[in-house]
Chains A and B, each alone.
Chain A
Amino acid sequence: ETGVTQSPTHLIKTRGQQVTLRCSSQSGHNTVSWYQQALGQGPQFIFQYYREEENGRGNFPPRFSGLQFPNYSSELNVNALELDDSALYLCASSLDGGGMYEQFFGPGTRLTVL
Chain B
Amino acid sequence: GIQVEQSPPDLILQEGANSTLRCNFSDSVNNLQWFHQNPWGQLINLFYIPSGTKQNGRLSATTVATERYSLLYISSSQTTDSGVYFCAVLSYGQNFVFGPGTRLSVLP
Which of B43, B86, B88, B99 has most chain A Cβ within 10 Å?
Answer: B43
Nearest CB in chain B: distance from A55 CB, A: 10
Q: Is the CB of B90 within 8 A of A104?
A: no
Q: Is the CB of A100 within 8 A of B41?
A: no
Task: Report how far A35 CA is from B31 CA in the complex, Å.
Answer: 17
Query: B59-77 toward A: CB 8 Å interface, digit per residue (1/0)?
Result: 0000000000000000000
Nearest CB in chain A: distance from B104 CB, A: 15
| Residues 16-49 of B at the A interface (beta carbon under 8 Å) | 30-31, 33, 35, 40-43, 45, 48
Query: A32-51 toward B: CB 8 Å interface, digit per residue (1/0)?
Result: 01010100011111001000
Q: Is the CB of A100 within 8 A of B31?
A: yes
Query: A75-114 toward B: CB 8 Å interface, digit per residue (1/0)?
Result: 0000000000000101010000001111111011010000
Query: B74-108 toward A: CB 8 Å interface, digit per residue (1/0)?
Result: 00000000000010101010011111110000000
Which of A41, A88, A103 has most chain B Cβ within 10 Å?
Answer: A103
Taking CB as reference atom, which chain A residue is nearest B86?
A: A42
Across-interface contacts of B35 in A (CB, < 8 A): 105
Across-interface contacts of B98 in A (CB, < 8 A): 35, 42-44
Select A102's contact among B40, B42, B48, beta carbons within 8 Å: B48
CB contact under 8 A between A100 and B96, given known A42-B101, A108-B42: no
Q: Is the CB of B45 within 8 A of A102?
A: yes
Query: Which A residues are closer than 8 A to B by beta carbons?
Result: 33, 35, 37, 41-45, 48, 56, 58, 88, 90, 92, 99-105, 107-108, 110
- Would you give 28 A-B contacts (Cβ < 8 Å), ordered by A? A33-B96, A41-B100, A42-B86, A42-B88, A42-B98, A42-B99, A42-B100, A43-B43, A45-B97, A48-B95, A58-B95, A90-B41, A90-B43, A99-B30, A99-B92, A99-B96, A102-B48, A103-B33, A103-B88, A103-B96, A104-B45, A105-B42, A105-B43, A107-B40, A107-B42, A108-B41, A108-B42, A110-B41
